[in-house]
Amino acid sequence: METMNETVGEATFAELPSDAVHTLMAEFGGDVLRPSDEEYDDARRIWNGMIDKSPALIARCSGVADVVAAVTFARKRDLPIAVRGGGHNVAGTAVCDGGIVVDLTEMNGVRVDREAGTVRAEGGATLGDVDRETQLFGLATALGAVSETGIAGLTLNGGYGHLSREYGLALDNLVSVDIVTADGGVRTASEDRNEDLFWAIRGGGGNLGVVTSFEYALHEVGPEVYAFFAWFRGDDAVDAMARFREWTATAPRNAGVLAFTAHVPELEEFPEESWGEPAVAFLGSFRGDLADADATFDTLREGATPIADLSGPMAYIDLQSMLDEDYPDGLRYYWKSVFLDDLTDEVVDVMVRYNESAPSALSTIDCWHLGDAIADVPRDATAFWHRDKPYMLTVEANWEDAADDDANVIWGREAFAEAQALPAASGRYGNFPGMNEDPARLLYGDNYDRLVAVKTEYDPENLFRSNQNVAPRTDAD
């Protein structure tokens, strides 16, 4: 009988056959943690401090055989599965209540094949793990913009970053994956092997199985690039965003900029009298001849004096990690995104007004410039649908104290509600999903029915459902 203080994880674990648990633990290469184990509480914590879930078991895998064992154990007992790579999905999909966490953290090996021009990384690797190895050879693949992010969730849901407009989404750079599907099978998917699965993996999130390794195409990048990072006063935000809109119309592919409204951080790089004030900032990079870098961004600097301009040449690895300190483990996060057909005055108004009313000075509202290589890929070539949109707006509520949860989530939801109601707005992005409260169909557009068909083939019982779930067809459908 469940006691008053018993967690869902403890209650579910108590109902599991003890001999089956002992067999799993005895045959497992890594560690299997139970709710009573000393390391359990640390192992169930993830990046978003808002998430507090209690799995029945945490399977810290040492290799693919462990992943197969964990998936098989869950399938036989109809336990939910959560897959932890980097643990950075804002909705907390890396952990689940009363299920089993397939933890890939220790599976983080990376190997560069210079002759093939590819890199293979295990499912628990982070962006930083990949960049460190590829930059030894002056190479990179298109990933995200925070080095501590796991490659798995980032790639399976899309993957925007500094290289996107030149080389596409992270998923566009996939050559192949190895995946453990719901039946416990180990499959390789690529353009010529299990093609339907490879189509669905690219954008389908965690709906199809546990990807244990990713093979990416590499490009010549770095080791030095130009970072553009300029901050302007909040009073200049409307004019600054107008300049940004004009800049995006003719921007070269080898340059990209993220515009965001924020509050000036209390750091020595910024004048003390500006600390805490509303601001608008541009963060981007240029990967051509460094002599041309300043001219590439000159129009974004015109018309206003920056609060601070931290631009200049830097190592590509440093560019990839410069935001890490802004998104530490344990901070509380609620992020949500919508795509935009146009960067209208109404969008800018939402960015400015809600920045000024934010209950936390750590929160931002971001406008991503997309297009070019992302839009070059047909929308039905992968499961990822919203390729044709030139912009994406993201509301980032970031705060420290649990007592402020309601105020910050309400602020984030109200800002997002205004943005998504605008005529220019549509769709959703799987890596910034709020708490997965919206229908999955919003992510996939006209690709949704095909994705359901692939899900039905490879996961007919919906074993992989601790995500932005695409449900398989049933006999009643």
> Which pLDDT belongs to residue 4?
61
Angle at which helices 345-357 and 237-250 cross, to 10°: 140
* 286-320: pLDDT as tens digits: 998 999 999 999 999 998 899 999 999 999 999 99
| Triad 429, 432, 436: Cα angle to 5° | 90
Rounded to 10 deg, the angle between the 237-250 and 293-301 helix axes is 140
Output the CA torsion sign for 234, 236, 238, 243. Answer: negative
Residue 459's alpha-carbon distances to 184, 316, 432, 441, in angstroms, are 11, 39, 24, 18
Show the low-confidence residues of the chain (pLDDT under 50): 1-2
Token code pair at residue 111: 């190997």
- pLDDT for 168 equals 97
- Number of residues that make up the chain: 477
Residue 476 is predicted with a pLDDT of 64
Which pLDDT score, from 0 to 100, does residue 477 have? Answer: 62
Q: Beta strands 81-84 and 100-103: pairing type?
A: parallel
- Nearest one of 427, 285, 415 to 347, comparing CA atoms: 415
d(CA 451, CA 444): 8
Q: Using an 8 Å Cβ cutoff, are 165 and 371 in contact?
A: yes
Alpha helices in 218-280 (DSSP H): 237-250
In order of their start, the domains of the chain are 9-103 (3.30.43.10), 110-220 (3.30.465.10), 224-426 (3.40.462.20)
pLDDT tens per residue, range 139-155: 999 999 999 999 999 99
Phi-psi region of 373 (alpha: psi -120 to 50; beta: other; left: phi over 0): alpha
pLDDT of residue 303: 83
